[in-house]
Chains A and B, each alone.
Chain A
Amino acid sequence: MSETRNYDITILGAGPAGLTAGLYAGRGGLKAAIIEKMMPGGLVANTERIDNYPGFPEGISGYELAQKMEQQTRKFGAEIISAQAENIISEGKYQLVKLSDGSTVKSRALIVATGAFPKTLGVSGEKELLGKGVSYCAVCDGAFFKNQPVAVLGGGDSAVQEAIYLAGLVSKVTVIHRRNALRAADSIQKIAFANKKIAFAWSKDILSIEGSSRVSGVRVMDKQTLKEEVIPASGAFIYVGYQPNSELVKGIVNTDQQGYIITDDKMATSLQGIYACGDVRQKLVRQISGAVGDAATAAIAAQQYLELNA
C-alpha cells in the first residue's frame, strides 16, 4: 500500500500525552491522526492503580483512565490509526510519517508523544529467560508465582509498588536495589517496610539472572564487601526505570544524552513544526498530570503555528 493520507496534524503515540494532544487538536477543529502500534493508553494502561491523578479521589485503574481518555479523544474527532510509525521524513514544510503497512501520513505539524518504555538491565539471563520467570509486568504474571519466592529489581516507585502487589500472591519478595535507600515515595516505602513478606537486599549490583529452563535466582554482588551470592527466586520482576522512545526522531530534532527530546516552553523542538510532549521530553517529573499539561500546550502551540504559516 503506497497510499498517502493528509492531515492537519499527526501525533505519534496514544498514551495520555498523545490522546490529550489529539483531544485538543480535534476540539480545535484540526484534522488529527494519532498513530499507535499497540493499544491506546500507553504505560498508564499497565498501571494497576493511580492515586495521584486529580479528579479521582478514590483512585482509578490505569486501564480505565486510559479508556476514558481514548473515548474523550475520539469524541472530538481525532482518528487513531493502529500502525507502527517506521520513518519520518521532513519535506519542506511537510512531515511525512511512513507506516508499517506501507502507507504515508502527511501533515504540516507533528507532535511526538511516544513516551518511554521500561529499561532492561542488560545482564545475562534477562533476555533468555523472558517469559520463563523474567517479567516486566507484575499484574500480568504475578499469578504464576503463587507461594513461590520472587525478586523485584529496582528501588523506585514502580519497583516498590509492584513488590507490595506481589507480596499478596507469593511466599516472599526480595527487593534488590543498588543503593542503600529506596527512591520510592515515603508513603509507599512505609507500606513496604511494614510488610513481613518483603525483604530488602541493599547495595547490590545485579550480575545475572540464573536458571536454565526457568529462573532460579538472581546473582548479585555486594558493593561494599564485593561478595557474590545468588538470591533464590522463581520470578525476577524488573523495574529499573525507563528510557525514551525517541529513535524515530533521532537526528531530526535535538535530544539530550539519554535520548530525551529537548523542547522550549511551547513544547517546540529544534525543528519548526515538530513538537514533543509527555515522557519522551526532557523534564524533571514524568507523571500523567504533567503529560496531559504538556500535550495541551503542544497542541495549541502547533495550531498557532499552522495558522501563522498557512
Chain B
Amino acid sequence: MGMLREEDQNHLRREFSGKLVNPVKIVFFTQKLECMYCQPTEEILTEIASLSDKLILEKHDLLEDKSLVDQYGIDKIPGIALIGDRDYGVRFFGVPSGFEFTSLIEDIIDVSRGTTGLTLDSREKLKKIAKPVKIQVFITPTCPYCPAAVRMAHQAAIESDMVTAHMVESAEFPHLVQKYGVMGVPKVIINETIQFEGAQPEPVFINHILKAAE
C-alpha cells in the first residue's frame, strides 16, 4: 500500500461513491516469475479496489488459470480485464501508471455504468457494427496524448459488443513494438488492417473503427 496519496484516495472514494452503479470485477492476470511490472500493477489495483465496496479484485495466474485466460483473451501479463454487468472487452496490458492511471479510473466508472460520454451519433454507429473488431492502443506512461486514444478505444468497446480494446504499454512488450514498428505514441492498430498515429478527434477515430468493421 501507499502508492496513492491520501488526498487522491479521498478524491477517488468520493468519485466512486458518487458514480459507480454496477459492481466492477477487476480481473488481474499475473505470473509468479519473470514479470517485472506485475507487482506494481497488483499494488495499484489492490489500492483502487479498497476504495469502494463495488470493486472486486480477482487475481489469476496466466499459466494455471487456462480457462479464464481463454475466456478473456489474455495473451500477456500483466493483463487486466474490467468486467461490469457483462464483459465489455476493456483490457489493459502493462502497468496502468502515469497518465494511464486516469484512463483506468474513468474506464472503471464507465464499465460500472455500462455507458460512455461518446456522442449519440458515435454510439449509434458503433452499435451497428456486426463484425469483431480488435483495437490495440500503444502508449507510454509519460504521453499526455495517449489517454485520449485509450479512452476512445475503451469507450468504443463499451458501446459495441463487437469491439474489444487493449491498452498496450510499449516498454513492457518490445516484441509487439517491433512487430508493429511503433516509434511514436499513441499508435492505434485496428484489426491488423488499419493503423494511425496520434490522438484523433472522436469522429475520426470512430470512422477508423467503422472502416475496419466493413
- Determine whether the beta carbon of B145 is less than 8 Å from that of A133: no
A102 interface contact, C-beta 8 A? yes
Contacts of B203 in A (CB 8 A): 84, 100-101
* Given A1-B121, A38-B148, A139 and B143 contact (CB-CB distance below 8 Å): yes
A301 to B179, CA, bound (A): 55
- Determine whether the beta carbon of B117 is less than 8 Å from that of A143: no
What residues of chain B have their CB less than 8 Å away from a CB belonging to chain A?
A: 99, 102, 117, 119-122, 140, 142-148, 170-171, 177, 181-187, 197-199, 201-203
Closest to A48 in B: B142
A131 to B144, CA, bound (A): 16
For residues 76 through 133 of chain A, which have their beta carbon under 8 Å from a beta carbon of chain B? 82-84, 100-102, 130-133
Partner of A214 from B145, B183, B186, B202 at Cβ < 8 Å: B183
A101 to B142, CA, bound (A): 31
A284 to B202, CA, bound (A): 34
Contacts of B144 in A (CB 8 A): 39, 41, 45-46, 62-63, 137, 139-140
Contact-size category for A: 20 to 34
- Determine whether the beta carbon of B148 is less than 8 Å from that of A135: no
Contacts of A266 in B (CB 8 A): none
- Determine whether the beta carbon of A141 is less than 8 Å from that of B202: no
Contacts of B102 in A (CB 8 A): 67
Can you sample 21 A-B contacts with CB below 8 Å? A37-B201, A39-B144, A39-B145, A39-B148, A39-B199, A41-B144, A83-B202, A84-B203, A101-B120, A101-B121, A101-B203, A130-B198, A131-B187, A135-B183, A139-B143, A140-B144, A140-B185, A141-B183, A142-B142, A143-B170, A235-B183
The total of interchain contacts (Cβ-Cβ below 8 angstroms) comes to: 93
- Determine whether the beta carbon of B184 is less than 8 Å from that of A141: yes
Partner of B184 from A1, A82, A132 at Cβ < 8 Å: A132
Contacts of A137 in B (CB 8 A): 143-145, 184
Contacts of B182 in A (CB 8 A): 131, 144
- Determine whether the beta carbon of B146 is less than 8 Å from that of A130: no
For residues 25 through 68 of chain A, which have their beta carbon under 8 Å from a beta carbon of chain B? 37-39, 41, 45-46, 48, 62-63, 67
Contacts of A134 in B (CB 8 A): 184
A48 to B182, CA, bound (A): 22
A1 to B184, CA, bound (A): 35
Min distance, Cβ B102 to any Cβ of chain A, angstroms: 8
A39 to B145, CA, bound (A): 8
A213 interface contact, C-beta 8 A? yes
Contacts of B122 in A (CB 8 A): 101
- Determine whether the beta carbon of B143 is less than 8 Å from that of A144: no
- Determine whether the beta carbon of A131 is less than 8 Å from that of B119: no
Partner of A140 from B119, B121, B171, B184 at Cβ < 8 Å: B184
- Determine whether the beta carbon of B145 is less than 8 Å from that of A63: no
